[in-house]
Structure 1
Amino acid sequence: APLVYQTPSNKTVPIIYDSDQGPTVSVPLQEMFGEVVSPKIAGGKVPIRFELLSPARRPIQTTSDLANFWRTSYFEVAKEMRGRYPKHRWPEQPLEEKPGKSLKRFS
């Protein structure tokens, strides 16, 4: 079984294996922009569970179905997080956003 997961922004994150929760990756939400399909391990049989983190590194959502998350609950999460973390990226089109740093770029 793999020990690490590589995010769409090429960041390497450890995979934590738990007998109750299954393989889990804790990663800032913005690192996952553009990842439409939930990655699976064990020959494509076991989905990785994602613990998506706020800019403060606190869990804000847990999912094994990223496609469904981006279509549904992301918008509620983003709405709440925009108020708490206004300097961070919470785009209306997260799948079109480049993955990576959380902070907005100011010109």
Structure 2
Amino acid sequence: MAEALHIPLKFPFTSAGGTRIEQLPIRRLKRKDIAAAQRHSSNEADVEDFLAAKMTGLTLEDLGELDIADSQTVTLVFREMAGGGDGSQVLGRGAAPGAEDAAQRDSES
């Protein structure tokens, strides 16, 4: 099993719940997450925030507390994943084991 990716924060912060956040886990989003985001708002920026929060496990309130540099990294990882990547390229890591094989299979279909 591939090691889960995390976004290390350049500027850690304390969440509204009092937890110190130094890194954010990344989870792949599903179609149902997009549907939930679209029910939440029709505003594109709000939809993207909802999905970024879902991807990282943050609340919308805590997402708003991210430093602009960390927010940019979250957005870049989100967009890479939406394009079929796993976020590792943005984070300066090699693709997760098996990801390159899957990408190759998908391109041959």
> Could you state the TM-score of these two structures normalised by the residue count of structure 2?
0.27
> Could you state the TM-score of these two structures normalised by the residue count of structure 1?
0.28
Q: RCO greater where, 1 or 2, for CA within 8 Å and sep 6 or more?
A: 1
Structure (1/2) with the larger strand percentage: 1
Structure (1/2) with the larger helix percentage: 2
